[in-house]
Structure 1
Amino acid sequence: MYLASLFVETQKYHTKVSDSLIYDHSICLERLKTSQTNCGDPQHIFMPPFPQATPFISRRTSRFGPPNHVLTVQRPFSLSHGTTTLGFIFQGGVIAAADTRASAGGLVACPAVHKITPIHSHLVVTSSGSGADCMLWERILIREIRLYELRHKRRLSIRASAKLLSCMLHPFKGTDVCVALTLGPRVIYVCSDGARLQGDIISVGSGSPYAYGVLDGGLSWSLSKEEAISLAREAVFRATHRDAYSGNNVDLFHIDAQGWIQRPREDLKEEYYRD
């Protein structure tokens, strides 16, 4: 997703010092186009005004080489990322759980992010993927649901919320948008390509294979509330124990007919020593 403002100098040439320092902006000016702001439709996201945005943005024209010399700019770290989020249904409602580590390659960017976001009184979303994309689409979903309530004087259903998000994400299929959201109290998975799946148990992220192993072995419909919370905590802990992209703390939400309840954040080191 391209959410940057591009400022191009009006001066086309720098002809001082020597011919080797001539810097021609015409190459950039030919490839950039002027776009109007998206104030009229805030939901509309402008794509880059030139083809093959990723290789173009990662390259720049060097001021210290011959004209048209291109220097590749290396990123300080890879853009790979991971997480562990999960949600499942039992007789007492839905449990949503997630770790709190934000990673970028081998870098722990933040140890205490919030990957579970309350959308309204009966709906929470767990997010996995690019942090910026997930936060943007969560805000868009919150706005659209609130507008629906104001217009129709009733709350949008969980299935309708998932369908709305899927329809909004589908036009960005094949782009660099990276979003994977799980909505509760019905456990519905929505991906950035527009896919929408519903199930009794869903886990998303690089740690999900380890979480599934714990959930498949211990989940049953007849679990009590405390047993379900303990199972979710155990699943996230086992995933973070093996997955380098997940870790630090665990956030837990319980959603029932009365709404969602957030459990206190727990440090996974305590779970490790308890084990």
Structure 2
Amino acid sequence: MALEDICSFKDKPLQRWFPLSALETDYHNLELESLKTTQINGGIPQHIFMPPFPPTNLFISRSTSRSAPSNYSPTVERPFPLTHGTTTLGFVFQGGVIAAADTRASAGGLVACPAVHKITPIHSHLVVTSSGSGADCMLWERILIREIRLYELRHKRRLSIRGSAKLLSCMLHPFKGTNVCVALTLCGWDKEGGSFGMVIYVCSDGARLQGDIISVGSGSPYAYGVLDGGLSWSLSKEEAISLAREAVFRATHRDAYSGNNVDLFHSFSTEQPH
């Protein structure tokens, strides 16, 4: 084989693994030195047997004057903060739950994408609005979908909205204080919510808040201003949809990080008129 010829494997029996003592003396300089061979390994170049990373105890006995390999350098922080912005909202009314969001993905002053879906259907009774890092939100939404499906298969029943929020909060809490940036709002209905609906906010530090109206993102103060002036329990479906669209639109008008289109979902129970 061509690979055997290049690596000098052909017709040279391998007697045993390369001794660890040689790794301790030559590991850092192998990339700079010429290839070495010994009778122990049948003339095969030593670097063929080198593990990609040395054991930790190899560095304990070394003098402090000798620096560690570049692979072990600390993580370099970004030279500037990369800010994100969005406008998402969810509220409860007599006809169910409304979830709305803009479609602009921003990275600092750059509009990264004008057509991002920030509302994700998780189950037949649940949608999630996302705010924060796009990659983190997409990952945790997929994880939540998987866990809800596994729960349904194991227990032969659907996980409630509160249970889904508690599960997500417990999974996110270990990442508190890290660079994970996730703010998800669960909007849906189940029997625990009296077949009307509920809105629960979960963020990456594990916090979990429930309310009749929740707006998240850099445009949320402007959205709250519109919602507080027009929201009531007795709204019809058309009035609720119009109010949610108006709130997101006004937020995108004032917030530079939000914009483009408005996505809107209406979640309701099949047991109630709509």
TM-score by length of 2: 0.70
2:229 to 196, 217, 220: 217
Q: Deviations over 1:44-99 (max 9, x none)?
A: xxxxxxxx6343xx5xxxxxxxxxxxxxxx57xx5111000000000100000000
Report the residue type matching 1:203 in the other structure.
Answer: S
1:152–1:232 distance in 2 versus 1, CA, 3 Å: same
What's the CA shift for 1:179?
0.3
8 A contact 1:81–1:129 mirrored in 2:
yes
| Alpha-carbon RMSD | 2.3
Matched, 1:178 2:171: no
Residue of structure 2 in register with 1:109 after alignment: 112
Gaps of 5+ in 2: 1-27, 34-65, 189-197
Equivalent position of 2:219 in the other structure: 207
Contact 1:84 1:236 in 2 (8 A): yes
Question: For 1:122-201, what aligned pairs fall within 5 Å after superposition?
Answer: 122-185=125-188, 186-201=198-213
Amino acid at match of 1:53: T
Q: Which whole-Å CA distance do the structure 1 matches of 2:149 and 2:67 have between them?
A: 45
Match of 2:245 in 1: 233
Question: TM-score if structure 1 supplies the norm length?
Answer: 0.70
Runs of 4+ in 1 over 4 A off after TM superposition: 10-15
Q: Which residue of 1 aligns with 2:4?
A: none
Offset from partner CA, 1:90-135 (integer Å, 9 cap, x none):
0100000000000000100000000000001000000000000000
- The answer to whether the 8 Å contact 1:98/1:251 transfers is yes
**DSSP-derived class of the 2:267 partner:** strand
Find the counterpart in structure 2 of residue 91 from structure 1.
94
Q: Which has the higher contact order (CA 8 A, sep 6+)?
A: 2
Change in 2 beyond 3 A, CA 1:163/1:54: farther
Query: 1:28: how far off?
Result: 1.6
The structure with more radius of gyration: 2
Task: Give the aligned partner of residue 118 of structure 1.
Answer: 121
Asked if the contact 1:122–1:255 (Cα under 8 Å) also holds between the matched residues in 2, the reply is yes
Letter in 1 for 2:75: A
The one-letter code of the counterpart of 1:123 is L
Q: How far off is 1:11 after superposition? A: 7.1
Q: Is residue 28 from structure 1 mapped to residue 47 from structure 2 by the alignment? A: no
Q: CA deviation at 1:258?
A: 3.0
Cα 1:147–1:11 change in 2 (3 A) is farther
Write the deviation string for residues 208-257 of structure 1: whole angstroms up to 9, x where unpaired. 00000000000000100000000000000000000000000000000000
2:54 maps to none
Aligned equivalents of 1:238, 1:117: Cα separation in 2? 22
- 2-side partners of 1:194 and 1:208: how far apart? 20
Identity fraction in percent? 83
1:255 is matched with 267
Counterparts of 1:13 and 1:157, CA distance in 2:
57
**What are the Cα deviations for residues 169-200 of structure 1, in whole angstroms up to 9, with x where unaligned?**
00000000000000012100001000000000
- Structure 2 distance, partners of 1:131, 1:180, is 10
